Structure 1
Amino acid sequence: MDNRHRLSSRCLERGAVNPVTLAVVVIVVALAIAAWFLIFKPYRDAAAGMTPGTPSAQKATASREAPPANVDALSVDQLLAEARTAMNDQRLVAPAGNNAFEFYMKVLQKQPGNQVAADALRETFSYGAAATEQTINQREFTEAQREIDLLAKADPENYTLTILRSKLDAQRKTLDREQQQALDAQKAQQLAQQNAAAAAKQQAEQAAEAQRLQAAKEQAAPAGAAQQPAAAAERPAAPAARQAAPQADAISDAVLIRQVSPRYPTAAMRANQEGWVDVELTVGTDGTVGNVTVVDSQPKHVFDRSAIDAVSRWEYKPATRNGEPMAVTLRRRLQFNLGR
């Protein structure tokens, strides 16, 4: 008995390891190795796949391989393997049915306490949110809404969801505003083309009227010249000024040289109203327009101000009598039509 006690004391003095202590150390090492392969390594691989500059992060687009034929029939280990593959292929939240988030959530449905899936969803949430934000910026609104809903299932209380929803709403409003602006610009262009066509038609009509008056004056001139000798024979003693008196005065009409198209009232455009305005104006000896008044209009008081503003800026070549400028009063009608 004394010999065994002395032997044990000598072993302790020499530093021999207690068998119980050795067993505890072996168990701890085994647990650490298992934790490395089951928990830490999958997370490190997933994070490495999302780190900028790595080969996975440099892929132009996510893999579009077909999803497993029957996801519900997969085991937990198979689902985790699918999730890791999707992470490496940048398929975080898309495409639908074949992405890491859906695989991890399917794992939690089969095994609610699975720590690998729960931690993976938490640690990769920010990367999934970044991918969803890129989808929003590309204006793929339906897909973006699906991805937001998927993120909400993984972490419904995460504040990032509020930011993503706000960005999605803002992008939708921006697109609606751009489309409305394009439509308004198209309508304005059509209206300008119609106004230009109406102005050209009016100028052509005025030029034709001026030619008709000039032709009528030229036809009347020979008759006046034929009557002059008879008048001179009856009054041989009349002075030269009296002999020229019977000749008609040479009068030329005012000719429009600058026409300003009226602005279509915004309220009338929104109400799809059309109409016309008759105005009376005075063309001065310098060709400027003044005393513009509305004689009649339909509908009343809708287009009056726009017509007056436009006509007041017209310019004419003044009317003349015997080569001398004179003021004249004219009446014109302005049409307001919407293009359809």
Structure 2
Amino acid sequence: MRHRGWIALGALVMVLAACGEAPPEQAAAAPASAAPAAAAPSLPAATDEAGLRAAASRALAEQRLYAPAGDNAIELYLAVRALAPADADVETALLELLPYAVIGSEQAIARGNFDEARRLLDLAQRTDEALPALARLREQLVAAQQEAAQAAERAAREQEEAARREEAQRLAAAATETAAPPAAAPAVPAATQAAAAPATPSVPTAAVPVPSPANAAPAVAANPPPAAPRPAATPLPQLLSAPQPRYPPLALRRRIEGEVVLELRIEADGRVSATRVLSANPPGLFDEAAQAAASRYRFEAGQAAITTRQVVRFRLPKAG
């Protein structure tokens, strides 16, 4: 039977992993570092069954269970099984090693090492194509990759926003320095000015003609006319259709609720032409689903385009 030994050993390995035991690839590194430096033996040919068996046993003894790639116990036993498919001992060895590949793939996903996770999942599938955990692990890998891509995109946007703010502050500071008036000269006391001024003969002061009312400048009205009233704000159009957002599978599995505050641009014909995330709780988990749903909203037609805010909430169905 292909799954004999799987349940007992798999449970033991899961318990050890939950207790924080170091991954097998780290355990394999310890003996290698303590041993004196020696040239690694070359791998046997793919048709050398005896050599492959010896290499697989050596890798197993040295705790190279699934790493490094190409020279580990699982891959070497798979090569032996290709030459001797009816060997029960090889099949048992592979089934005993399978839980380690599963745990290693989960740890690689958690670390963000997606290439290593894919390699280990391929090893697990080659060992047992009917393994029930394969579908779950591949779905977990896809979700983790999407999360990492969204986080990288958010970090890039935040860096770009910070650079724009810094540039705007620099330009504003430069404009302020350019527009600043020159420094005023220090005030000179009146007595000093009088002493420094040359004496001039006194001249009879002539009467200064007072301009007639006809030539006088027009006076500014004391009470200016009231300003024209500002136009009233465009009323928010009525929401006619609001499709329900698709609940992200990762949030559904983890039983997470949240909400996203969006900025919507509603055109005069009532369709939503643009969406922008203003805030989200938790960040990044519901953003895409909220924007996808809001882009399908339909409002009643109005006289002009308008920008408004909309909150999209994600709530789990009540039990029972």
Q: Name the TM tier (shorter chain).
A: 0.3 to 0.5
Which structure has more helix as a fraction of its residues? 1
Give TM-score scaled by structure 1 length: 0.43
Rg larger in structure? 1
Give TM-score scaled by structure 2 length: 0.46
